Amino acid sequence: MAQSTGATVVARKAKKPRLTFKQEIQTIQNLPRLQRLIVALKVGGVLLVAIGLEGIVSGNYLWPIVFIPLGVFVSMLPIKVRIDRCLACAAPLGPHQAICPICGAPQA
């Protein structure tokens, strides 16, 4: 049998520093009002699904019928709003620019 002498290459994800809690709050505060509403709707959708799951656990079967589809619908509302500013540092961005040239933050 022939054995290969080639070395195996392992791809590793680049480690990026995570945002601190204060940076996350600052990022949310930098969002325009419409995107703040979208973030609130996403959190609200998760809360509605959790209420529906609680209804399954507690035996109130009307809760899952109402709250789970409502939570999924609220979470799936359109979320793409185009702004020309970085969400993290509020620097101006070019059209279709996905990463801020100043701070390197990805744009959602």
Q: Indicate whether 82 belongs to any domain.
A: no
Helices 62-75, 33-58: axis angle to 10 degrees equals: 160
Range of the domain at 45: 21-75
Q: Indicate whether 69 belongs to any domain.
A: yes
Q: Indicate whether 9 belongs to any domain.
A: no
pLDDT level of residue 78 (50, 70, 90 thresholds): low
As a whole number of angstroms, the distance between CA 78 and CA 82 comes to: 12
Q: Is the model's pTM score more than 0.85?
A: no
Q: Are 75 and 45 in contact (CB under 8 A)?
A: yes
pLDDT level of residue 68 (50, 70, 90 thresholds): very high
As a whole number of angstroms, the distance between CA 45 and CA 25 comes to: 20
pLDDT in tens, 39-54: 888 889 999 999 999 9
Q: Are 60 and 67 in contact (CB under 8 A)?
A: no
Number of domains forming the structure of the chain: 1
Nearest Cα to Cα of residue 107 among 93, 86, 91: 86
pLDDT level of residue 81 (50, 70, 90 thresholds): low
